[in-house]
Amino acid sequence: MENQMKPLIGITCNFEDRTVSKINERQYDTLSNAYVTAVRKAGGIPLIIPNGLDKEELEEQAYRLDGLLISGGGDVDPAMYGKEAERDLCSGIHEERDQTEYDLLDYVLHYTFKPVFGICRGLQMLNVAMGGTLICDLPSAGKNVHSLTQYPREKFSHEITVKNGSILADILRDERRVNSFHHQAIDVPAPGLEVTAYSKEDEVIEAVEASGERYILAVQWHPEELIYNEDHLALFEKLVEEARKDRV
């Protein structure tokens, strides 16, 4: 019976401070419903992972998961990858979220064989957690603007080049169109991660995957907004497929 159960996919979320009124401030864990819908449509059961849990609580939660999705959001603190001086180029930094995802990845990557999928900030956090660095701001580094907010989130805005023979190439088949809402990207890839896609126009890194047998894949765009396209939905279906293997 257990092997027939849908895989449980943990999804990290944003941590926000909101002023409800002059005397009423609240902190919220938030997540776009697009991630939840994508995981459900792919055959998994989504579980939102709150921020601020201690290591023991995160490990207990991660132990129960079958797969992990690191979602998009604000910038990773540049102090985590040795670029404190460039903090002014960043926005949306939140220590609680950074620490939660770092501790979660540390446990999942080193003590389990659970599949991991990163999206946008999730790609960046994965790279940092594994020892890589980021470009803090693409325009400041002489790259094209990649925060293409003039396009609706569910519309394609540029093309990528995908490495032949990669897992990503197998998943996307002939699809090479993506959306784009980021101003940061990978600078130096982490050890153990292989670059498998670039922006076609300026060769900004758009995807990485694990170079060994472990299923780790991350993309710089937002496929959760593109699941009407079967090739982008396939990214979530692959995560669920790999998570199902982990349960057996």
Q: Which residues are part of the catalytic machinery?
A: 120, 222, 224
Contact between 51 and 100 (Cβ < 8 Å): yes
Q: Which of 42, 75, 44 has the alpha carbon at shortest distance from 226?
A: 42
Nearest-angstrom CA–CA distance, 21 and 70: 32
The residues, any chain, with a CB within 8 Å of residue 8's CB and separated by 6 or more, are 44, 45, 47, 64, 65, 66, 67, 243
Residue bearing tokens 């894949």: 217
Query: Which tokens hold the place of 40?
Result: 């459900």
Q: For residue 117, list its beta bridge partners.
A: 69, 217
Mode of pairing for the β-strands spanning 24-30 and 45-49: unpaired
> 37 to each of 18, 46, 195, 233, how far by Cα in Å?
25, 9, 28, 11
Q: Which helix (H) or strand (E) holds 232?
A: helix 230-247
Q: What is the DSSP letter of 248?
A: -
Contact between 222 and 181 (Cβ < 8 Å): yes
Burial 33-56 (b: 16+ CB within 10 A, else e): ebbbebbeebbbebbebebebeee
